[in-house]
């Protein structure tokens, strides 16, 4: 005992004394922390613990610890079931289209805005562009369904060009295009903000140097502007690829109907329908868990590839 | 930035096309809302007969709005959402402020631990079903608190708040402590006034979140009279569930469909007016908030 206290007095304080000292100094802060810690434990960590029920036959009456342990039964059920391939395929395809068309759109939009010399015009376009982002998903989808209905605006316009009327929301082949297209429309301005911020920090001297080297505007865009915002693009790409296996259920369930499940039903909407509406708690928790594990793995893999190739990483 | 001598012809052509393109993008972005606005004031019978774009209201009527306001669900939805926006945002701000203050003390022994605990939740979550079961077992199911408590702190906004608090000069806090102020009064009298712009920005984010959110209510609320506005909108706009209200508003069947559409348009406008009113403020804070988040994230 004596030896210990000598050590702590002369050099590094022992853990215990540090804890006590820290507690004395920051006691009021720790008391303030209680509320926040309680929130995180109850509403974030308890649900994470609740993932356990993916491995048991969860019965609400028996609780998490009283229910029967079934191991990977529900995972096997899902993968051998009729819907696994359909929801995984739809989730991946929607993300793939969004990656191809939706990811570059805000970058191009930002680059084009950056070429505008009039600040007032630039600001106006930008202000308008992120308006849809602040309108609720319900309203956006309501307008979308109205415009795409049989007597809606889109049909009125295409009949002028001699095309037949189509009830777009009933045919599975249109769903993904509608979903991804409206997503681009909603997120264009919002997505561009981060690139515009990166563009505004590009050193003007670089452009001067490029002009002296005889670069025209297009070349300056390719050789100066793009490399300067490349780190931002890579970070956004990592994040984007990290969510290749997730599509939020909100917009899906607002837009879909049983006749387009074939192309519209994604993992999250499936979890919602099978889990909450039909009460298959364990089964859909297993599906959800599978989904988040894949997502996190994707994020980690892309991140480490990017770290090796370009030195850019999230962590 | 681009005035490097005389512009070449191709450069001018590009500028011209670029401006035209961006104008088209802006029109495509905003026109759907303008269409709905015009349609909401239009004579429903003429509206049904009309083909193509609307460049002005067809006639003028407030019937859609009158119908919408007569619909009880919309008014109760408005009430519920107002409660959530006011009470919910207040709870969010208090909790976020306090916890951001807690994790902004780098000298504190457990500070690192708390930050890691918070960051982990940005990457992992229990998912829909476990969260539902927790909320249910806490007895919050079908209570408006189920829309507030599970989202008391948004970790992303918490970190933005922490960044702002850490930028407050330490001298200010020290001076207050020397005057005998306790932690709570340092927080209220020094830190809070110094971070008002950020506080306003994240308050705006929380408030817009409450205004626009509906999926929590879809999961946690059963009673229709407790539906927030967006859930009511979902019934009217997505599920076409307004026939009940139409029946007792004295509209004949043939006109029914036309009136239903008119009411939909009016409902959309009623629900986005508040967002439009605060849009200038959103504008101001939003870009800033995004950039702070981008730097940290």
- The percentage of chain A sitting over the pLDDT mark of 90, rounded to a whole number, equals 48
Q: How far is CA A158 from the centre of its chain?
A: 34
Cross-chain Cβ contact B1/A193 below 8 Å: no
**With b meaning 16 or more CB within 10 Å and e meaning fewer, what string describes B15-28?**
beeebeebeebbee
Q: What is the pLDDT of residue A242?
A: 84
pLDDT at A10 over 50: no
Cross-chain Cβ contact B52/A272 below 8 Å: no
**The tokens of B43 are what?**
């004579």
CA B213/CA B144 separation, integer angstroms: 13
| Mean pLDDT rounded to a whole number for chain B | 86
CA distances from A131 to A33, A189, A190, B280 (A): 37, 8, 8, 11
Residues paired with residue A69 on neighbouring β-strands, in sequence order: A56
B98-114 residue pLDDT tens: 999 999 988 888 888 99
DSSP state of B242: -
Q: Is the pTM of this model over 0.95?
A: no
Cα-Cα-Cα-Cα torsion A41, A43, A44, A45, nearest 10 degrees, comes to: 40
How confident is the model over B129-141, as a mean pLDDT?
93
Comparing CB atoms, the residue among B32, B105, B131 nearest residue A26 is: B105
pLDDT at A276 over 60: yes
pLDDT at A51 over 50: yes
Cβ atoms within 10 Å of B100's Cβ, excluding its own? 28
Q: A253-257, A300-304, B177-181, B227-231: lowest mean pLDDT where?
A: B177-181
Cα angle B126, B127, B130; round to 5? 65
pLDDT at A2 over 60: no
Cα angle A138, A141, A144; round to 5? 150
Residues of A numbered 47-86 whose beta carbons fall under 8 angstroms of chain B's beta carbons: which are they?
47-51, 53, 60
Q: What is the pLDDT of residue B292?
A: 55
Q: What is the pLDDT of residue A160?
A: 85
**The tokens of B251 are what?**
């509209």
Residues of B numbered 107-126 whose beta carbons fall under 8 angstroms of chain A's beta carbons: which are they?
108-110, 114, 117-118, 121, 123-126
ipTM of the complex: 0.87
Give the residue with greater pLDDT, A74 vs B2: A74
Band of the pLDDT at B77, cuts 50, 70, 90?
very high
Comparing CB atoms, the residue among B102, B126, B272 nearest residue A139 is: B272
Give the residue with greater pLDDT, A310 vs B244: A310
Q: What is the pLDDT of residue A12?
A: 64
CA B79/CA B228 separation, integer angstroms: 8
Band of the pLDDT at B124, cuts 50, 70, 90?
confident
pLDDT at B190 over 50: yes
Interface test mutation site (partner B, options A43, A65, A113, A294, max chain B beta carbons within 10 A): A43
**The tokens of B280 are what?**
């200038």
How confident is the model over B75-87, as a mean pLDDT?
94
SS (H, E, C) chain A: CHHHHHHHHHCCCCHHHHHHHHHHHHHHHHHHHHHHHHHHHHHHHHHHHHHHHHHEECCCCCHHHHCEECCCHHHHHHHHCCCHHHHHHHHHHHHHHHHHHHCHHHHHHHHHHHCCCCHHHHHHHHHHHCHHHHCCHHHHHHHHHHHHCCCCHHHHHHHHCCCCCCCHHHCHHHHHHHHHHHHHHHHHHHHHHHHHHHHHCCCHHHHHHHHHCCCCHHHHHHHHHHHHHHHHHHHHHHHHHHCCCCCCHHHHHHHCCHHHHHHHCCHHHHHHHHHHHCCCHHHHHHHHHHHHHHHHHHHHHHHHHHHHHHCCCCC
Band of the pLDDT at A239, cuts 50, 70, 90?
confident
Q: What is the pLDDT of residue A261?
A: 92
Closest approach of chain B CAs to the CA of A112, in angstroms? 7
Q: How many contacts, defined by CB atoms under 8 Å, are there between A and B?
A: 243
How confident is the model over B162-173, as a mean pLDDT?
88
Q: What is the pLDDT of residue A200?
A: 85
B48–chain A Cβ distance below 8 A for any pair? yes
B272–chain A Cβ distance below 8 A for any pair? yes
Closest approach of chain B CAs to the CA of A84, in angstroms? 18
Band of the pLDDT at A312, cuts 50, 70, 90?
confident
Those residues with Cβ within 8 angstroms of residue A239's Cβ, 6 or more apart along the chain or in another chain: A299, A314
pLDDT at B13 over 70: yes
CA A261/CA A250 separation, integer angstroms: 15
B33–chain A Cβ distance below 8 A for any pair? yes
Q: What is the pLDDT of residue A4?
A: 45
pLDDT at A187 over 70: yes
- The percentage of chain B sitting over the pLDDT mark of 90, rounded to a whole number, equals 46
Band of the pLDDT at A5, cuts 50, 70, 90?
very low
- The percentage of chain B sitting over the pLDDT mark of 70, rounded to a whole number, equals 89
């Amino acid at each position: 005992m004596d030896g210990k206290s000598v050590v702590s007095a002369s050099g590094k304080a022992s853990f215990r004394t540090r804890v006590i000292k820290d507690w004395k100094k920051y006691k009021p802060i720790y008391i303030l922390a209680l509320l926040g810690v309680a929130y995180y434990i109850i509403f974030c960590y308890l649900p994470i613990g609740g993932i356990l029920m993916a491995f048991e036959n969860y019965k609400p009456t028996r609780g998490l610890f009283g229910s029967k342990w079934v191991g990977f039964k529900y995972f096997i059920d899902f993968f051998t079931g009729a819907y696994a391939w359909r929801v995984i395929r739809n989730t991946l395809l929607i993300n793939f289209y969004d990656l191809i068309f939706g990811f570059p759109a805000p970058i191009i939009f930002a680059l084009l805005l950056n070429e505008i010399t009039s600040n007032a015009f630039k600001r106006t376009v930008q202000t308008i562009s992120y308006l849809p982002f602040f309108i609720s998903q319900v309203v956006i989808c309501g307008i979308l369904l109205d415009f795409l209905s049989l007597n809606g605006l889109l049909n009125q316009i295409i009949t002028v060009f001699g095309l037949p009327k189509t009830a777009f929301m009933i045919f599975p082949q249109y769903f993904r295009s509608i979903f991804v297209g409206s997503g681009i429309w909603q997120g264009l301005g919002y997505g561009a903000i981060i690139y515009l911020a990166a563009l505004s920090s590009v050193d003007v001297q670089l452009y001067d140097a490029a002009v002296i080297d005889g670069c025209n505007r297009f070349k300056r865009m390719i050789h100066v502007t793009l490399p300067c915002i490349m780190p931002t693009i890579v970070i956004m790409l990592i994040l984007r690829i990290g969510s290749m296996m997730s599509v939020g259920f909100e917009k899906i369930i607002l837009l879909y109907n049983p006749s387009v499940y074939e192309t519209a039903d994604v993992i999250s909407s499936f979890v919602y329908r099978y889990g909450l509406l039909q009460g298959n708690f364990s089964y859909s928790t297993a599906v959800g868990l599978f989904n988040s594990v894949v997502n996190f793995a994707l994020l980690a893999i892309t991140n480490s590839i990017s770290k090796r190739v370009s030195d850019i990483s999230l962590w | 930035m681009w005035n490097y001598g005389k512009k070449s012809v191709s450069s001018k052509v590009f500028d011209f096309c670029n401006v035209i393109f961006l104008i088209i993008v802006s029109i495509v972005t905003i026109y759907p809302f303008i269409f709905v606005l015009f349609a909401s004031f239009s004579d429903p019978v003429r509206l049904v007969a009309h083909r193509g774009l609307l460049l002005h209201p067809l006639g003028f009527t407030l019937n859609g709005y009158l119908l919408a306001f007569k619909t009880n669900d919309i008014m109760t939805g408005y009430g519920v959402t107002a409660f959530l926006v006011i009470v919910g945002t207040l709870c969010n701000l208090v909790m976020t402020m306090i916890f951001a203050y807690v994790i902004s003390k780098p000298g504190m022994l457990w500070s690192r631990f708390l930050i890691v605990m918070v960051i982990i939740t940005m990457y992992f979550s229990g998912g829909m079903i476990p969260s539902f079961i927790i909320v249910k077992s806490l007895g919050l199911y079908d209570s408006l608190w189920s829309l507030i408590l599970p989202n008391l702190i948004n970790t992303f906004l918490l970190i933005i708040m922490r960044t702002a608090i850490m930028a407050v000069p330490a001298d200010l806090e020290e001076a207050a402590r020397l005057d005998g102020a306790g932690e709570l009064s340092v927080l209220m009298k020094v830190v809070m006034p110094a971070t008002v712009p950020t506080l306003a920005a994240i308050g705006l984010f929380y408030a817009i979140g409450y205004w626009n959110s509906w999926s929590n209510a879809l999961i946690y609320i059963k009673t229709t009279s407790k539906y927030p506005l967006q859930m009511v909108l979902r019934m009217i706009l997505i599920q076409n569930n307004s026939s009940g209200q139409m029946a007792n508003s004295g509209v004949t069947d043939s006109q029914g469909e036309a009136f239903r559409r008119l009411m939909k348009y009016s409902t959309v406008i009623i629900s986005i007016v508040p967002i439009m009113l605060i849009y200038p403020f959103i504008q101001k804070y939003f870009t800033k908030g995004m950039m702070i988040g981008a730097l940290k994230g």
